[in-house]
Structure 1
């Protein structure tokens, strides 16, 4: 029996939107979201990049591995399924821990800086209780991630 298609959106998903304003130009914030260094710095410890696109665009693949709770290594493979230069991209999990996962990163001018929005749509396959538990964990991970992004954009890495 083969692995199910994790790129197929289930009928019920959970959406999280996290927005943060940065005192940096949109092109700098967008470049940070595309960079392997910016990604690794924004993630919790233990994330290992196995493959990162040299140049982003639709069809490019992100191949990652990290230990869940520092113990069990999980492989996560995502494909860039939408890309708009300087503005947004979405990565769609094709292999990984979620039944469905699509993460859209958007930057836009806001005042003298940039508004950065993450929209995560996911399904755990564990019903509403599983999705709620995952949503709490995902939302909690964004605070430290955004602090590290801010430090990188302000040159305080």
Structure 2
């Protein structure tokens, strides 16, 4: 959809919520998801960080290149459009493969540890079937990511 502003939420999106509990304090989990090293460790091979904010806050930019499985690298730029220190942040795609992408990361104390919730809201521009296929792929990527986060927080 040429000329469409990717920051504008379409009428119909697909939401994917992934909830995981960690045996670590909330401040440690939040620090991990904000760190460049933590991000790269959680991502599949082929993701390269071109720009990462020194300090997170609204308006900061994440710029990535993702050359998965030998395909032509995809440039993915997101702006932090919501930030609550120690609790949550949202990144909104302004350039990338989706018609719309907004990913909210939230951490909160839960029992003796922390509950981490990812809420991904997407539109592929390919209708419900395209969104479902993308959501299945995204959901599949969360398993390895969460396992690597558990490992990083154990130390």
Quick check: TM above 0.5? yes
The Cα shift of 1:71 comes to 1.7
RMSD: 1.2
1:145 alignment counterpart: 145
1:71 alignment counterpart: 71
Cα distance in 2 for partners of 1:68, 1:132 equals 20
2:133 alignment counterpart: 133
The Cα shift of 1:104 comes to 0.1
Q: Tell whether the 8 Å contact from 2:88 to 2:104 is kept in structure 1 after alignment.
A: yes
Please give the per-residue CA displacement for 1:44-87, whole angstroms capped at 9, x wherever unaligned: 00000000000000000000001143321000000000000000
How many residue pairs get aligned? The number is 155
What's the secondary structure of 1:11's corresponding residue? coil
Equivalent runs, 1:1-157 vs 2, <5 Å: 3-155=3-155
TM-score by length of 2: 0.97
TM-score by length of 1: 0.96
What's the secondary structure of 1:116's corresponding residue? strand
Q: Tell whether the 8 Å contact from 2:45 to 2:68 is kept in structure 1 after alignment.
A: no
Note the residue ranges of structure 2 that are not aligned, 5 or more in a row.
none
Cα distance in 1 for partners of 2:66, 2:81 equals 23
What's the secondary structure of 1:72's corresponding residue? coil
